[in-house]
Amino acid sequence: MVFEAGRIFELVGWPAVLLTAWLAGELAHRGLGVPRVCAYSLAGIVSSALNTVQADAETTAALSFLANFALGLFLFELGHRINLRWLVNNPWLLVSGIAESLLTFFVVRGIALAMGQPDDIAMVLGALSVATSPAALVRVVNDLRCSGQVTERALHLCAINCLISVLLMKGAIGYWQLLESGSLVNALWNSAAILAVSVGCGILIGIPLPWLLRRLRADERGVTTVFALAVMLVTLLTQGVNVSPLLAALTLGILIRRRKLLLTPAQRNFGVLGDLLTVFLFVFVAGMATWPTTATALALAVLMSAGRIAAKVAATAAFAHVSGTSTRKGSLTGFALAPLSTFALLLLEYSRSAGFGLAEGALSAIAGMVIVMEFVGPLFAQWALMLAGEAQHEERA
């Protein structure tokens, strides 16, 4: 049977791109000391620019599910590392996370407005910019085997960023629905219901897991498999009822931590499955962005990126002493929060599939910022953690 060249290329497109991305990541990390995820993202951007991977609507939906599942694994691990007792005992850390998130929102929104973006688009850009990419930060932390005060603060503030970004995004959607329908009750109900159901799905899946694992007396490998399947289940469930799988996965991780089922270092990244999905996630999400085509779009991307990082560093440094650390470590924590993209773009993609009319305009406006932060963000995070003295030499196989 003779295949057309285009059909063959379509069949091998994704595996070829993923293999290329993995090789580039290893070369970049081992040869240049660059975070692997930067190379994965570059492969995705180049692949998108060359249009090497094509997919119909059904395939795109399947790939979107895989991307949400992959990010769900990172959000689960992030939630699992959140110590709620620490936030209760040190409320200033929580306050600093909220202040940093709101400052980032208003700074990026202000820059977008100054550069001629409409108010509703500027609101969406500000909300998305609040989020720190859990995939990039967790991957950098795990690759460098980081541990210490800056690492833990960055992870906790990343979770706060993601939660507030979702809340602000739901607020933007509610505001848009208010303008469209004129009903304040419907706008508030839709946003609140989506948040409540998302959290409820995470709780629903998380409650029986500890009992199940203790009854089965699962070993480390079995526990990791069950956690991965639980994240897959919560992703399917939330997408089925059209709520946020990202918030549900974060809730699931926090709940499992509260039930005292702890991931060991060997379980982090979810083994080979996690490595493969990491490559796919960054290639897929980077492919959603497009290079800025005008000088104005490029200037907007650079200014929003700089304003975002400046806001995070300024806020974490300002609250450093009252939250129990030095100004230097507070500033380094802010730099560690630089990674963007994966969470923001998948949140925007989910909002678009849910019928959010501003998603297309916001996606084109934030694309340049995403491309800038794909490379600058992980580098800043790695640099901050190494300057803090919390990075160890990576284990070799």
Q: What is the CATH number of the domain that holds 94?
A: 1.20.1530.20
Query: What pLDDT is stored for residue 95 in this prediction?
Result: 94
65 within a domain of the structure (yes/no): yes
Q: CA torsion 15→381→263→271, rounded to 10°?
A: 20
Both structure tokens of 18: 């993923």
51 within a domain of the structure (yes/no): no
If one compares 173 and 255, the residue with the highest pLDDT of the two is 255
Q: CA torsion 274→276→280→282, rounded to 10°?
A: 60
Please give the model's pTM, rounded to 2 decimal places.
0.85
What is the average pLDDT across 80-93?
A: 88
Query: What pLDDT is stored for residue 155 in this prediction?
Result: 94
State which residues form the domain around 154.
60-282+293-387
Summarised one tens digit per residue, pLDDT across range 135-173 is 899 999 988 888 899 999 999 999 999 888 888 887 777
Query: What pLDDT is stored for residue 192 in this prediction?
Result: 72
Residue 43 clears pLDDT 50, i.e. is over it: yes
Interior CA angle at 89 toward 86 and 93, to 5°? 65
Residue 57 clears pLDDT 70, i.e. is over it: no
312 within a domain of the structure (yes/no): yes
Summarised one tens digit per residue, pLDDT across range 165-217 is 888 887 777 766 666 655 555 556 566 777 788 888 888 888 888 777 777 77
% of the chain exceeding 70 in pLDDT: 80
Q: What is the DSSP letter of 133?
A: -
30 within a domain of the structure (yes/no): no
One-letter amino acid at 276 equals L
27 within a domain of the structure (yes/no): no
Summarised one tens digit per residue, pLDDT across range 324-335 is 899 999 999 999
Interior CA angle at 325 toward 323 and 327, to 5°? 105
131 within a domain of the structure (yes/no): yes
Residue 272 clears pLDDT 70, i.e. is over it: yes
Summarised one tens digit per residue, pLDDT across range 313-323 is 999 999 999 99
* Helix, strand, coil abundance in the chain, percent, nearest 5: 80, 0, 20
Query: What pLDDT is stored for residue 307 in this prediction?
Result: 94
% of the chain exceeding 90 in pLDDT: 24
Q: How confident is the model at residue 225 (pLDDT cuts 50, 70, 90)?
A: confident
Domain count, the chain: 1
Query: What pLDDT is stored for residue 197 in this prediction?
Result: 84
Residue 100 clears pLDDT 70, i.e. is over it: yes
Residue 1 clears pLDDT 50, i.e. is over it: no
The answer to whether the CB of 255 falls within 8 A of the CB of 206 is: yes
One-letter amino acid at 235 equals T
361 within a domain of the structure (yes/no): yes
Considering the chain, what is the average pLDDT of its residues?
81
What is the average pLDDT across 81-88?
A: 86
Q: What is the DSSP letter of 182?
A: -
350 within a domain of the structure (yes/no): yes
